[in-house]
Amino acid sequence: MSDQPQSYPSHRRYVPGYHFLLAGLLALNLVWAIRHVIQTPTPQHWVDLMLAVAFLLIFWYLRDFAKVVQDRVIRLEETLRMERLLPADLKARIGELGVKQLVGLRFASDAELPALVRRTLDEKLGETAIKQAVKDWRPDHLRA
């Protein structure tokens, strides 16, 4: 994992072999299968097309399922962190925060967390707005 500083513009993580190479190969395979079905719609070409679509669905859901599990862990971690750091009036409102808001708040430093939670609740900020509002970025190099 990297020890490089993070900020809103640099926090996204891309795995080149997955996000670019595999995605590109699967897209190319789909185009190839569609081309074959259009040119010569044999049963084998239809099977190839169904497999190409299935591979893309697997690619999509592998990523999606991992993100859901990770968001659940983030929700737990941030709830525990907020229980420790927030004043009593904000602790009572932790349940009002959505998962995406908690995902955004995880980047806020301990010092700025209470003010940002209050602002998030009062202004109903979304994940992107929260991340953009963070001044003292707390990096997360373990995001899947």
pTM of the shown model = 0.73
pLDDT tens string 1-54? 456 676 666 666 777 888 889 999 999 999 999 999 999 999 999 999 999 999
Taking residues 110-139, what's their average pLDDT? 94
Encoded tokens for 45: 């070409």
Euclidean distance between CA atoms 20 and 23, whole angstroms: 5
Q: How many Cα atoms sit within 13 Å of 4 on the Cβ side?
A: 8
pLDDT tens string 50-102? 999 999 999 999 999 998 999 999 999 999 999 999 999 999 999 999 999 99
Domain ranges within the chain, ordered by starting residue: 14-70, 86-139
Q: Single out the residue of 86, 77, 87, 84 nearest to residue 107, CA to CA.
A: 77
Cα separations in angstroms, 42 against 4, 33, 34, 97, 140: 53, 11, 12, 53, 49
